[in-house]
Amino acid sequence: MNQFTVTFQPDNIQVQVTAGSSVMDAAQKAGLPLKSTCGGVGTCGRCAIKVLQGEVQVEGSHLPLRLKEQGYTLACQTLIQGDAIIEIPASSRLSKHQILLQDKGRLADGLTDSLASYPLEPCCETITLSLSEPTLTENASDASRLLAALRKEQGREGELNLTLLRDLPATLRQAGWQVDVTLAREGRDIIRVTPAGSTRSFGLAIDLGTTTVAVSLLDLKTGRQIARNGGYNRQAAYGDDVISRIIHATSDDNGQEELRHAALATINELIVTMLAGAGIEAQEVITAVVAGNTTMIHLLLGVNPKYIRLQPYIPAAAEWPPVTAIEAGLAINPLAPVRLFPAVASYVGGDIVAGALFTGIARKEELALFIDIGTNGEMVLGNNDWLISCACSAGPAFEGSGITCGMRAMNGAIEGLTIDPETYEVELAVIGGGRPAGLCGSGLIDCLAKLKRAGIIDRTGSFQEVATPRLRHTDEGAEFILAWAAESITGRDIIISEADIKNLIRSKGAVFAGIQSLLKTVALEIEAIDKIIIAGGFGNYLNIPNAVEIGLLPDLPAAKYAFAGNTSLKGAELALLSWTAWQEALELARKMTYLELSAGNLFMEEFVSALFLPHTQLELFPSVANVTDMDRREG
């Protein structure tokens, strides 16, 4: 097929692509990933680009009229038919995320001491052996000699992989027959044979999220954290949510392999960078533990995820057998065992089990609600007697998807704001401190609360007629201008539309409906909850009073709320360092009851009731109702 040159500006990067390739694919090949919340089917309008020169074929476009008039097309719908020069605006680029590697805000009581509750017993152990040197009369093979010493000195059986056997003769002789042998704690696999006294042992904890990936490097001998690293998940080029990715994996000929490669490219780049910075060789990393949602683990392992999204929503597996790093595709010691956190169901995955492990909710008598708000609002309610979990389809709105000027938490994202109730002027808090490019999840919640408080929207999310040029009516509906074009990075107004607001209300309603569904299933009231633990990057930057004010979270005293940070990564760290913790994680997943919200009418009834600010039942939000009544009296 014909090959054409695509030049991307302002980067001045060139790539060769075949005729008919999309600009989206060309940008991916050039290492310039673009925003795409729809998986490249042309419905989200995020990947806007300009064709400066060249022959292209533009398919159907869902771009807003204002962008079309400025000469934009969609990268995923623009096909290369000749040499071309393409401009990628800053607003379409998937730039660096604000990855949650260190905690911000207050932590739940005792969460920082989780490791102290478990013994330091990594999933792999290193044993020093003294082997007898062979002679003409004592001529057992090198492998037999090693395995015999292991049985004699440690009472353990072992098995040698062909990879180790290839280097074993040289290793034993160079070591003077004094060697360190690394074994998996469970089973007979020998992972590494090295000269005695020279061995360092490290492990990786990996949080494979839908949006971001975080990796932690730990010293297995001391339990000390050496480094952490994080970045966006390159699978985002195929869609923001798991459903989009499942569709891509199961409908494109090479889709499943593309998604697996994207996940591994993300993880391995983080690993290589981190190891280089720490002066550690890949061979010295002898084990890894991965926590991720059910779909992410299927895609990482190359397992068909098709039936996760089809009723009755069944995954291929909930518990995964240990695999080696070479089988998983991780850039560490190829024989290193890789353990994957078990899932509870298709939409309550290993990341939630890891969070439940780290927070210790199954070890305490107090009734705790653990919530991780992302594309899905996953939550666990319970204590040391019982646990019940569910996942509500909140949609990706809180991650910026489906919102006109929404974006992920990265430089340029509005993460907070204030609105003057008299002049309606806006002050913005922007990640990185520069000019705004859009709104991330925490900014969207702030915005919704402040619009309602200033009287700009009513309880249904509809705009009220207020005297300000920031409120305008367009062919696409009413919208409020948060930042004028001259103030923004993009050179376009940063707005929130009435449609955006209704989308956010549906998302917050789904989360609160999920909480209510869990409580009603076990016949408990909101007041029975002793602690609410908010997890994840979004939760870590969440303004709790604002979240209560819009009806996202229960109206409970602030002292009952706690941030726990990236509990998926922290749970993986626990399981990496302690075999006891790993076994507990397996039991947690097995004992957790799963409530399927699509079965029956309970969730839908709660969801409809939650489609107001804060709720149709104001008695559920007494602090907000009091403010509303006071505002009404003052008006």
- Write a three-state SS string for 410-455: ECCEEEEEEECCCCCCEEEEECCCCCCCEECHHHHHHHHHHHHHCC
The class of domain 3-92 in CATH terms is: alpha beta
The helix or strand, by DSSP H or E, that contains position 520, with its residue range, turns out to be helix 498-521
SS (H, E, C) 9-63: ECCCEEEEEECCCEHHHHHHHCCCCECCCCCCCCCCCCCEEEEEEEEEEECCCCC
Domain boundaries, given as residue ranges, for the chain: 3-92, 124-195, 201-340, 360-635
Alpha-carbon distances of 577 from 136, 162, 230, 359, 613, rounded to whole Å: 44, 28, 20, 16, 45
Q: Terminal CA-to-CA distance of the chain, rounded, Å?
A: 70
Q: DSSP label at 126? A: E
Torsion sign (Cα): 356, 37, 410, 232: positive
Average pLDDT per run of 10 along the chain, which is 635 residues long? 87 89 87 75 80 87 71 89 89 62 44 69 92 92 95 92 94 96 90 93 96 94 94 86 92 92 96 97 97 97 96 96 95 97 97 96 96 86 97 77 82 92 95 91 93 96 95 92 94 94 94 97 97 81 90 95 92 96 97 95 96 95 70 40
Q: Both tokens of residue 512?
A: 């609160």
- For the chain, the residue count is 635
Q: Give the span between the Cα atoms of 465 and 468, in whole angstroms.
A: 9
- Contact, 73 vs 51, CB < 8 A? yes
* Largest separation between any pair of C-alpha atoms in the chain: 103
Q: Both tokens of residue 339?
A: 């353990």
Q: Which residues pair with 474 in a beta bridge?
A: 477
Q: Both tokens of residue 574?
A: 């626990």
Q: DSSP label at 561? A: E
Long-range contacts of 596-601 (CB under 8 A, 24+ apart): 596/313, 596/345, 596/390, 597/390, 597/391, 597/392, 597/514, 597/517, 598/311
Could you confirm whether domain 201-340 is CATH 3.30.420.480? yes
Backbone angles phi, psi at 275, to 5 degrees: -65, -40
Q: Both tokens of residue 145?
A: 């000699």
Alpha-carbon distances of 350 from 101, 123, 209, 516, rounded to whole Å: 19, 18, 11, 23
pLDDT at residue 554 in the model? 97
pLDDT at residue 115 in the model? 61
Could you confirm whether domain 124-195 is CATH 3.30.390.30? no
Across the beta sheet with 78-87, the strand order is: 13-18, 3-9, 78-87, 48-58, 72-74
Q: Which residues pair with 5 in a beta bridge?
A: 16
Q: Give the span between the Cα atoms of 568 and 351, in whole angstroms.
A: 5
Collapsed DSSP state (helix, strand, coil) of residue 138: coil
In degrees, rounded to 5, the angle at the alpha carbon of residue 597 between the alpha carbons of residues 548 and 590 is: 100
pLDDT at residue 232 in the model? 85
**Fold matches, 3-92 and 201-340:** no
Q: Both tokens of residue 126?
A: 């290193």
Tell how strand 531-535 and strand 368-373 pair up: parallel
Given the structure tokens 């704690």, which residue do they identify? 185
Whether cis (ω within 30° of 0) applies to the bond prior to 614 is: yes
Q: Give the span between the Cα atoms of 482 and 504, in whole angstroms.
A: 16
Tell how strand 387-392 and strand 593-594 pair up: parallel
